[in-house]
């Protein structure tokens, strides 16, 4: 049965008002959508949306009908769903859209424990904070056809490329595959940039040549524009998020892999993680 409701008339919630969630909330409000934000940080840190920000998690969930979860990891997702004041404790119908990049196996297990009144949809996104501010995000949706039709008008306000991948979990599966490629290219580009001076080459020239050659990547071509491109590894920054995303990718494949299947590629995955974890601040 198709949803007869107009999602744009629903009360929308954004939980996790960081680099992605806050500009998403701002975009919704600019488009006259009834929207609220929630974050573990104080309301005083969100002056641009303070009239639409709640500090109480239970109140936020009670007042929101469609919730975008834009938190960092599995631990924070569990707190939102099964923790004190979590959405799983509610009796009314809610739509819970998972935008964080998490293991597909994790969200499948979480959905199996969700009460029937909580409609979970995986809607991971790509485009970084710049895309969130410009409302040009890419969404990869795992849902039924009816659910996709229902949420699409809202996603089109926030993004430019909206893809229905398949059933629940497929959106997250394609996202972790994509993010592994991103992580591998980040590791490779940072590695060769650090090696360039020892070969009497300027890193800027290497980036320029790669952009017009077979070494072209999103990360390399946008290196000067990406806010975190020169950062070293920290559990709190984007490099740390990429580390988490690679681990989610590995977890997604854990069950289907034999003990020694694709051993060489698993070593490559481990090497990618090690490079990310050892990155220090880069300066040309």
The domain that holds 29 is classified in CATH as 3.40.50.720
Distance CA(74)–CA(230), nearest Å, equals 27
- The reply to whether 284 falls in a domain is no
- H/E stretch holding 138 reads strand 137-142
> 154 with 194, same domain?
no
| pLDDT tens, residue by residue, 115-146 | 999 999 999 999 988 899 999 999 999 999 99
Four-CA torsion 223, 227, 232, 236, nearest 10 degrees: -140
Six token digits for residue 13:
């919630």
| pLDDT tens, residue by residue, 50-63 | 899 999 999 999 99
Percent of the chain at pLDDT > 70 equals 96
Mean pLDDT score of the chain? 93
> 158 with 180, same domain?
no
> 16 with 121, same domain?
yes
| pLDDT tens, residue by residue, 164-215 | 999 999 999 999 999 999 999 999 999 999 999 999 999 999 999 999 999 9
Specify the number of domains making up the chain.
2
Average pLDDT over residues 97-105: 96
- H/E stretch holding 36 reads strand 35-38
Give the pLDDT confidence score for residue 262 in this predicted structure. 72
Distance CA(263)–CA(257), nearest Å, equals 10
Least confident of 7-21, 60-74, 222-236, 249-263: 249-263
Which SS3 state, helix, strand or coil, does residue 148 take? helix
Give the pLDDT confidence score for residue 258 in this predicted structure. 59
- The reply to whether 257 falls in a domain is yes
> 77 with 132, same domain?
yes
DSSP string, 226-259: -TTTTPPP-TTSHHHHHHHHHHHHHHHHTTT--T
In sequence order, which residues have a C-beta less than 8 Å from that of residue 244 and are 6 or more positions away? Answer: 72, 73, 101
Give the pLDDT confidence score for residue 1 in this predicted structure. 46
Distance CA(96)–CA(120), nearest Å, equals 5
**Taking 60 as the threshold, does the pLDDT of residue 246 lie above it?**
yes
Dihedral pair phi/psi, residue 8, rounded to 5°: -70, -10
Listed residue (142, 147, 187) closest to 167, CA to CA: 142
Four-CA torsion 48, 51, 56, 62, nearest 10 degrees: -120
Give the pLDDT confidence score for residue 3 in this predicted structure. 62
> 146 with 191, same domain?
no
> 198 with 90, same domain?
no
Q: How confident is the model at residue 83 (pLDDT cuts 50, 70, 90)?
A: very high
Helices (H), 117-256: 128-134, 145-158, 170-195, 203-211, 218-221, 238-253
Domain that holds residue 121: 7-167
Sign of CA dihedral 232, 211, 130, 56: negative
Whether the CB-CB separation of 148 and 171 falls below 8 Å is answered with: no
- The reply to whether 136 falls in a domain is yes
Dihedral pair phi/psi, residue 163, rounded to 5°: -115, 130
CA angle (182 as vertex; 20, 263 as ends), nearest 5: 135
Instruction: Compute CA distances 216 → 20, 107, 177, 183, 221, whole Å.
Output: 26, 33, 19, 15, 7
> 53 with 159, same domain?
yes
End residue of a domain, out of 142, 167, 192: 167
Listed residue (100, 128, 125, 92) closest to 11, CA to CA: 92
Give the pLDDT confidence score for residue 50 in this predicted structure. 86
């Amino acid at each position: 049965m198709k949803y007869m409701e107009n999602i744009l008339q629903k009360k929308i919630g954004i939980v996790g008002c960081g680099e992605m969630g806050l500009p998403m909330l701002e975009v919704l409000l600019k488009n006259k959508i009834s929207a609220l934000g929630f974050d573990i940080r104080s309301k005083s840190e969100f002056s641009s949306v303070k009239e639409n920000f709640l500090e109480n998690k239970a109140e936020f969930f009670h007042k929101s009908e469609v919730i975008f979860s834009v938190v960092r990891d599995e631990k924070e997702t569990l707190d939102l769903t099964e923790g004190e004041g979590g959405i799983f404790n509610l009796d009314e119908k809610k739509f819970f859209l998972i935008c964080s990049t998490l293991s597909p196996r994790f969200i499948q297990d979480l959905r199996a424990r969700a009460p029937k009144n909580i409609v979970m949809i995986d809607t991971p996104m790509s485009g970084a904070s710049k895309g969130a501010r410009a409302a040009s995000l890419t969404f990869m949706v795992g849902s039924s056809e009816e659910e996709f039709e229902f949420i699409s008008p809202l996603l089109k306000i926030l993004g430019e490329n909206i893809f229905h991948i398949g059933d629940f979990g497929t959106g997250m599966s394609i996202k972790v595959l994509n993010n592994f490629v991103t992580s591998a290219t980040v590791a490779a580009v940072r590695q060769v940039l650090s090696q360039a001076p020892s070969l009497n080459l300027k890193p800027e020239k290497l980036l320029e040549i790669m952009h017009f050659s077979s070494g072209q990547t999103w990360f390399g071509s946008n290196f000067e524009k990406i806010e975190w491109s020169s950062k070293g590894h920290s559990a709190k920054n984007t490099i740390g998020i990429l580390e988490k995303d690679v681990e989610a990718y590995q977890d997604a494949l854990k069950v289907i892999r034999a003990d020694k299947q694709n051993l060489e590629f698993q070593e490559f995955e481990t090497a990618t993680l090690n490079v990310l974890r050892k990155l220090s601040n880069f300066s040309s």
